[in-house]
Amino acid sequence: MKNTHHDIPPALVQALHAAQRVVVFTGAGVSAESGIATFRDALTGLWSRFDAQALATPEAFRAHPDIVWGWYEWRRAQALRATPNAAHHAIAELARHVPELTVVTQNVDDLHERAGSTGVAHLHGSLHAPRCSACAAPQTCANEAPDEPGEGRRIPPPACTVCGAPVRPGVVWFGESLPGDAWSAALRAAEQCDLLFSIGTSALVYPAAELPQRALAAGATVVQINPAVTPLDKQAHCNLHGLAADVMPRVVAAMGHSTS
């Protein structure tokens, strides 16, 4: 099943109708369609002095906590201003068409939840779940985040309400392990599913990129939705090249149409 024109292959619709367990695995491309910058986008203002990957490390937080916290508050503000796009809504709608749907995301916003998806496994944590850098106690986000990211602001992190140590963003930084519960749930879902969608992800960031491979090894149908070619193209059973916000609603519509 190869496809470049956004027409949904009948074989994919049949596979979806036959599937008991479906996994939707999403990456930065899905959030980017809601206007959220990715790590590959150029930074501006204060942030232009830094490589995004250099800010996303424990070492950077220890050395410059005000710069790192300020950058993540900018990212949180960006996420709060964004709204779920048609792909987020279609993924939530897909849950009503299949017996069991698991959403696994590399994204750190809450756009899947705001679109109606439940039980989302966040492999890279969340901008909205800060925790203490010392005792790991969960903390509450400030009610408001910086309004304008253009200039960039150094913002000292708040103190932990339990031990007083600096609060850190609730995301997974480079060099850190994925959250155990989320990763275990994602692996289990990938290895037990009948069909897995890989949407808006480069298929390059490991260990998350293992999920489509685990599904393939277990005999599942793997469907990729991405505007660009990725390393997964040669292995996926179906490649739908296009924006997720365009393709996913077509997939859901095709399912509904085939049952009418």
7 is in an annotated binding site: no
Active site residues: 124
Residue 143 known to bind ligand: no
Whether residue 207 is preceded by a cis peptide bond, meaning omega within 30 degrees of 0, is yes
Long-range pairs, 234-242, Cβ under 8 A, ≥24: 236/198, 236/212, 237/1, 237/15, 238/1, 238/2, 238/3, 238/9, 238/11, 238/12, 239/1, 239/2, 239/3, 239/4, 240/3, 240/6, 240/8, 241/3, 241/4, 242/6
Question: Of the candidates 66, 95, 23, which has an alpha carbon nearest to the alpha carbon of residue 158?
Answer: 66
Report whether 66 belongs to an annotated binding site: no
**Residue type at position 26:** T
129 burial type by CB count under 10 A (0-12 exposed, 13-18 middle, 19+ buried): middle
Backbone angles phi, psi at 222, to 5 degrees: -115, 125
DSSP state, 48?
A: G
Tokens encoding 169: 């963003």
Ligand-binding site membership of 32 (annotated): no
d(CA 212, CA 41): 25
The reply to whether 201 sits in an annotated binding site is yes
Does the annotation place 141 within a ligand binding site? yes
Is 27 assigned a ligand-binding role in the annotation? no
User: Is 28 among the annotated ligand-binding positions?
Assistant: no
Is 152 marked as binding a ligand? no
109 is in an annotated binding site: yes
Q: Is residue 228 marked as binding?
A: yes
- The reply, when asked if residue 121 is annotated as ligand binding, is no
Residue ranges for the known binding site are 72, 75, 106-109, 132, 135, 141, 160, 163, 200-202, 226-228, 244
Residue ranges for the known binding site for substrate are 72, 75
Residue ranges for the known binding site for NAD(+) are 106-109, 200-202, 226-228, 244
Residue ranges for the known binding site for Zn(2+) are 132, 135, 141, 160, 163
